[in-house]
Amino acid sequence: MLRYTDPDVPLAQADEDKLLGFDPPVVVEDEKFVALQINLSLGTAAYATMALREVTKAETSSHYQSALTQTSEDQKFKKPTESITPMDVDPSAG
Protein backbone atom coordinates (compact mmCIF):
# COMPACT_ATOMS: atom_id res chain seq x y z
CA MET A 1 0.00 0.00 0.00
CA LEU A 2 1.30 3.41 -0.99
CA ARG A 3 -0.04 6.81 0.02
CA TYR A 4 -0.18 9.86 -2.25
CA THR A 5 -1.93 13.18 -2.82
CA ASP A 6 -0.64 14.42 -6.19
CA PRO A 7 -1.85 12.04 -8.95
CA ASP A 8 1.02 13.16 -11.21
CA VAL A 9 3.80 11.94 -8.90
CA PRO A 10 5.05 8.45 -9.83
CA LEU A 11 4.35 5.80 -7.20
CA ALA A 12 6.65 3.16 -8.64
CA GLN A 13 9.98 3.12 -10.39
CA ALA A 14 9.91 1.88 -13.97
CA ASP A 15 12.54 -0.63 -15.11
CA GLU A 16 13.91 2.01 -17.49
CA ASP A 17 14.31 4.48 -14.62
CA LYS A 18 16.27 1.85 -12.66
CA LEU A 19 18.56 1.21 -15.63
CA LEU A 20 19.13 4.95 -16.08
CA GLY A 21 20.04 5.30 -12.39
CA PHE A 22 17.11 7.50 -11.34
CA ASP A 23 16.21 7.52 -7.65
CA PRO A 24 13.05 5.61 -6.73
CA PRO A 25 9.96 7.67 -5.82
CA VAL A 26 9.76 8.82 -2.21
CA VAL A 27 6.84 7.39 -0.23
CA VAL A 28 5.27 9.72 2.34
CA GLU A 29 3.08 8.07 4.95
CA ASP A 30 0.70 10.94 5.73
CA GLU A 31 -0.73 11.55 2.26
CA LYS A 32 -4.47 11.72 1.47
CA PHE A 33 -5.03 8.73 -0.87
CA VAL A 34 -4.01 5.07 -0.88
CA ALA A 35 -2.77 3.05 -3.85
CA LEU A 36 -2.18 -0.67 -4.05
CA GLN A 37 1.00 -1.79 -5.79
CA ILE A 38 0.91 -5.30 -7.23
CA ASN A 39 3.93 -7.21 -8.52
CA LEU A 40 3.16 -10.05 -10.91
CA SER A 41 5.33 -12.78 -12.37
CA LEU A 42 3.41 -14.10 -15.33
CA GLY A 43 4.22 -16.82 -17.77
CA THR A 44 4.37 -16.63 -21.55
CA ALA A 45 1.20 -15.26 -23.16
CA ALA A 46 -0.20 -14.13 -19.79
CA TYR A 47 -1.20 -10.51 -19.46
CA ALA A 48 -1.41 -8.42 -16.28
CA THR A 49 -4.64 -6.76 -17.42
CA MET A 50 -6.32 -10.16 -17.74
CA ALA A 51 -5.05 -11.26 -14.32
CA LEU A 52 -6.32 -8.05 -12.71
CA ARG A 53 -9.67 -8.37 -14.48
CA GLU A 54 -10.10 -11.85 -13.00
CA VAL A 55 -9.13 -10.74 -9.49
CA THR A 56 -11.12 -7.50 -9.38
CA LYS A 57 -14.03 -8.53 -11.60
CA ALA A 58 -13.88 -4.99 -13.01
CA GLU A 59 -13.93 -3.63 -16.53
CA THR A 60 -10.38 -3.06 -17.86
CA SER A 61 -11.03 -1.30 -21.17
CA SER A 62 -9.08 1.92 -21.70
CA HIS A 63 -12.33 3.88 -22.13
CA TYR A 64 -13.69 2.69 -18.77
CA GLN A 65 -10.37 3.19 -16.97
CA SER A 66 -10.01 6.73 -18.40
CA ALA A 67 -13.50 7.58 -17.13
CA LEU A 68 -12.58 6.28 -13.65
CA THR A 69 -9.45 8.42 -13.63
CA GLN A 70 -11.29 11.56 -14.71
CA THR A 71 -13.93 11.18 -12.00
CA SER A 72 -11.65 10.13 -9.14
CA GLU A 73 -11.32 12.37 -6.10
CA ASP A 74 -7.53 12.72 -6.45
CA GLN A 75 -7.96 14.69 -9.69
CA LYS A 76 -8.83 17.72 -7.53
CA PHE A 77 -5.15 17.73 -6.50
CA LYS A 78 -3.80 17.54 -10.05
CA LYS A 79 -1.55 20.43 -10.98
CA PRO A 80 -2.90 22.50 -13.87
CA THR A 81 -1.15 22.00 -17.19
CA GLU A 82 -0.33 24.80 -19.55
CA SER A 83 -2.37 24.66 -22.71
CA ILE A 84 -1.31 26.02 -26.06
CA THR A 85 -3.77 28.33 -27.74
CA PRO A 86 -3.69 29.29 -31.43
CA MET A 87 -2.30 32.70 -30.42
CA ASP A 88 0.71 30.97 -28.81
CA VAL A 89 1.79 29.37 -32.08
CA ASP A 90 4.09 31.32 -34.41
CA PRO A 91 2.95 30.49 -37.97
CA SER A 92 6.33 31.56 -39.38
CA ALA A 93 8.19 29.00 -37.24
CA GLY A 94 8.76 25.79 -38.98
Q: What is the domain partition of the chain in residue ranges?
A: 1-37, 41-75
What tens digit of pLDDT does each residue of 23-63 get? 888 877 888 888 888 888 888 888 888 888 888 888 878 88
pLDDT computed for residue 85 by the predictor:
56
61-69 mean pLDDT: 85
Highest mean pLDDT pick, 15-19, 62-66, 80-84:
15-19
Inform me whether the pLDDT recorded for 89 exceeds 80: no
CB 24 within 8 A of CB 16: no
16 band by pLDDT with thresholds 50, 70 and 90: very high
Q: Which residues pair with 88 in a beta bridge?
A: none
